[in-house]
Amino acid sequence: MRLATALPLAIAACVAACSSPTVLEAPIPVRTRAPVNYEKAITNFFDLTIRGAQPNRILTFGKPEPGGCPVGGRASSELGWVVPVQYATRTGAPGQESGVAVKGREYYFWFRQETIYGVTPKMELCP
């Protein structure tokens, strides 16, 4: 085949191959395994971050739920788990005139296996 006819055929083949639509597949999300010792990890978190004794503290733990956020520092990271926790404190005592007052606050702990990757005040916020 002559160069004069081979070159236009090669260019036409390249243009045809390059112009065909490339279908990109959406990445399949991978989820880490659920945390097992999450209650201990969360208790240790509060022990380390809140100063002083916490004798009137009440922690109420929810069950780990699949989270929609990638945890690991990149958008392609594995999906983690979220554990809802209520941190409550009580003041007063039964029989006192003021009674017992309980104040609570919700926290959402984001896990990648046994590691806490973030804490948020709302579940829909990613760490």
Reading the block at residue 87, the tokens are 């941190």
pLDDT surpassing 70 at residue 20: no
Show me where the domains of the chain are located: 30-120
Tell me, what amino acid is at 46?
A: F
**Tell me, what DSSP letter sits at residue 121?**
S
**Could you read off the pLDDT of 92-111 as tens digits, one per residue?**
777 777 777 788 899 999 99
This model's pTM is above 0.85:
no
CB neighbour list of residue 23: distance below 8 Å, 6 or more residues apart:
none
Residue environment code for 22-42, b if the CB has 16+ CB neighbours within 10 A, otherwise e:
eeeeeeeeeebebbeebeebb
pLDDT tens-place string over residues 56-66: 899 999 999 99
**Are the CB atoms for 93 and 100 separated by under 8 Å?**
yes
Q: Give dist(CA 109, CA 102) in Å, integer.
A: 22
